[in-house]
Amino acid sequence: MKFKILITGKNRKIASSELSKQLEKELVCTAIECQPVKTQLFEAVYDQRPSVILIFVKDEDQKDIKIYDVIKEYEKFHPITVIVVADELNRKMFTRNSGLRKILFLPSDIPLPKLCDRLNEIKNVVEAEDEKTQFVEFDNTEAVEAENTRKHILVVDDDAQQLIQIKEHLKDFYEVTLINSGTKVLQCLERFKIDLIFLDYLMPEMTGPEVLTQIRADGRYKDIPVVFLTGVSEKATVIKTINEFKPQGYILKPTTKIDIVTKVIEILG
C-alpha cells in the first residue's frame, strides 16, 4: 500500500502553497488535502486510509479543534501517526480539546526540509511494519480512563453525516464508537465492551440483517441490544426482520436527538 499523508488544518495553505507536491516529490508518497470540516475529514480518513495525518494549527478555537475527534474513531482500528504543527499556545489548545490520545507535535516554524525528514522517518517505520516504534510525544491517559467509566455505544452506518450527528447527540454522556461498514463490527466487539449497537439497515458489503445474524450467532455477543436505523421505505421489511431476529427496535431516518436519546435511556437506563 502506498504511503499516504492527509494534510488538513486552517493553516495548511499558509505553510506552503506547494506543500503537497513537495511531499510527494521528496517522500514518493500520496499527499491528500482536506478541509478542516468534520464530515469531510471523516470521509477522507476512511476513504483514503492515510498512514499520517498532518494538521497545521493556527488560531483555532475550542470548537475548531473538537472536529478532530473523528480521527479517534479511525485510530481505534488502524495504526496511524497524527502530527500537529503548531506554536506552544495552539499546542496546548489542541491537547485540551482534540480528544486524540497520541500526538506528535512539531513547531510551527519548522523548515520544510526538516518536516520531510521527520515524515520520512515515519514512512520507514510504517513500511517496516514496526508499530512499536511509532512516534508518540503526548498520550492522553486521563481521557482513556474517563471513557472507560461510561456506557459504550457502537454506531454502524455508511453515511458519515449520520454517524457524526448521532455521536454529537450522545458524546457528552456515553463513549461512542463509529464504524462505516458492517464488516468491521465483529472486530470492534472483540476489542471493546459494547453496551448498545445502532445498526444501519441497508449498507454496502454487509446489510444490517447480515450483521445482526453474525452477532446473534456468536454466544459472546448475542445479548447485546441492537437497534436498526432505517428509512421509511424499508419500514415493512424492517418489521419482518424484527419478528425474525428480535432486535430492540428501530428508529426511522432522518434521526433526531430525542429519538436517539430516548431509545438509549429506554435500553440502558
Over residues 112-122, the mean pLDDT reads: 90
Place of cell 503526548: 138
Q: What is the pLDDT, as a whole number, of residue 151?
A: 95
- Give per-residue pLDDT as tens, 21-65: 888 988 999 999 888 888 999 889 988 889 999 999 988 888 889
Q: What is the pLDDT, as a whole number, of residue 238?
A: 75
Phi-psi region of 153 (alpha: psi -120 to 50; beta: other; left: phi over 0): beta
Q: What is the pLDDT, as a whole number, of residue 70?
A: 86
Distance (Å, whole) CA 157 – CA 210: 14
- Percent of the chain past pLDDT 90, that is, above it, reads 43
The alpha carbon of residue 188 and the mean position of all alpha carbons in its chain are separated, in whole angstroms, by 13
9-23, 110-124, 125-139, 230-244: least confidently modelled range: 125-139
For the beta carbon of residue 24, count every other beta carbon within 10 angstroms: 13
Confidence of residue 142 (pLDDT cuts 50, 70, 90): very low
